[in-house]
A = this chain, B = another copy of it.
Amino acid sequence: MAHKHGLLRERIQFANAEDKQEFTKYPTKAGRRSLSRSISQSSTDSYSSAASYTDSSDDETSPRDKAQVNTHGSSDFCVKNIKQAEFGRREIEIAEQDMSALISLRKRAQGEKPLAGAKIVGCTHITAQTAVLIETLVALGAQCRWTACNIYSTQNEVAAALAETGVPVFAWKGESEDDFWWCIDRCVNTEGWQANMILDDGGDLTHWVYKKYPSVFKKVRGIVEESVTGVHRLYQLSKAGKLCVPAMNVNDSVTKQKFDNLYCCRESILDGLKRTTDIMFGGKQVVVCGYGEVGKGCCTALKALGAIVCITEIDPICALQACMDGFRVVKLSEVIRQMDVVITCTGNKNVVTREQLDRMKNGCIVCNMGHSNTEIDVASLRSPELTWERVRSQVDHIIWPDGKRVVLLAEGRLLNLSCSTVPTFVLSITATTQALALIELFNAPEGRYKQDVYLLPKKMDEYVASLHLPNFDAHLTELSDEQAKYMGLNKNGPFKPNYYRY
């Protein structure tokens, strides 16, 4: 049910269409076949953001085969081209403008250096925004080594900029699977340095350490994991009694969830549909399958722009909420013939079936904002009687024998992963949560955290939120002593019980 936006960490630029098709459509499928089971799916997800600002051109040499040195004489890194550092630096500076929470964290922690002594090995998307996170960790006293959690998503220029400042980075856009594991290994397995903290996104780094260097865990004070997939893996380890250090699940913190799902989808559904189809929202009949946080975000935005929205639900409580929010609750089959747009947000599979696709009207747009790419039964459309016509990047017309066209976006993969962007502000919330989780685990007194998976303490979640309020010039009210006593609260929070629903 949870939502996998964690994968999407950077600005997306619509690059040359050919280029994009090349790496999204064909190679992805080819690539997947050759990947071993152990690699996380997310590490090879297609990534529409071209991610490369400068023309990385004709240089076909593998970074592994190049000898590169930064201006400080270090060669403890492996990136596409260290000369792109300057360009990458500018991107990082631009990202910093929207990540003032991390900047203020740097300032607040100027004296104490809460991560002094921390040796963090990280495996995330490598983008301007994560660069701001990494450089914040360094500013807080940590040493870091970094690699990429996805073979397509690295911004080469940013990787170069990090390497130039002395962060050992091992990542480039378009890694092979072998490259992927080689990079991880180079991060972990280095002489004279041993990680005592892990920051992971997807669980591949953790998996590698478990498999190859289990002794590393003796020194590791904790793992911070961000993705649904990685968190799932950790819970399984914990259940199996194999988790040997505390782990922090930052995926499920309130602030991150609300931004990744409700607030972000409220904007990205519009953006994704507009960029791909130029649809006019006013007056369009839309059915949204699923009225969880993602569905609520989609419905709010579409209704606000004049679409006529109905929803499908399996859960009567969510269905009742939809009613009260002004949406008709229907079964998909009842309305499918009239719909202009069908959006899935369920986390379930085969929510839109071939039979329903057969009954859609000409021009109906179908897309997925949910979890997996099986919500729409896309496989059923790959049959001989139907013609696929790629009309734009991420846009296919599926043509029925009678000429009817259904417009399928991103081949049923996540629309907002593939066709829209995630604002830096959202990434700032995730990055700040990660930074605080690292500080918490690194500084926790012996015994506070066992070998288990923890949620971020509510007070830290509140702290993440408070660090982002200045962006809105928002002014919090403080409880008076008398009020705090009356409410039975500490003046500094936490302000709500754990079960509070927000």
Contacts and interface: CB of A to CB of B under 8 A. Distances in A.
Interface of A: 1, 11-17, 94, 97-98, 254-255, 257-259, 263-264, 266-267, 270-271, 274-275, 278-283, 285, 293, 301, 303-308, 312-332, 334, 338, 347-351, 362-363, 391-392, 405, 420-426, 461-463, 465-466, 468-469, 471-480, 482-483, 486-487, 493, 495-496, 498-499, 501-502
A206 to B, nearest CB: 23
A151 B465 CA distance: 46
Query: Among the interface residues A315, A321, A391, A498, which one has the most CB atoms of the partner chain B within 10 A?
Result: A315
B363 A313 contact: no
Nearest to A304: B304
20 contacts: A11-B278, A254-B317, A254-B501, A264-B280, A266-B305, A267-B274, A267-B305, A270-B271, A306-B324, A317-B465, A319-B466, A319-B476, A320-B472, A323-B474, A329-B474, A330-B474, A348-B486, A349-B486, A350-B482, A350-B483
Query: Among the interface residues A338, A348, A472, A496, which one has the most CB atoms of the partner chain B within 10 A?
Result: A472
A97 B347 contact: no
A239 B282 CA distance: 39
B326 A97 contact: no
Given A267-B281, A274-B267, A471-B283, A327 B314 contact: no
A389 to B, nearest CB: 8
A26 to B, nearest CB: 19
A142 B350 CA distance: 45
A327 B314 CA distance: 26
Nearest to A303: B326
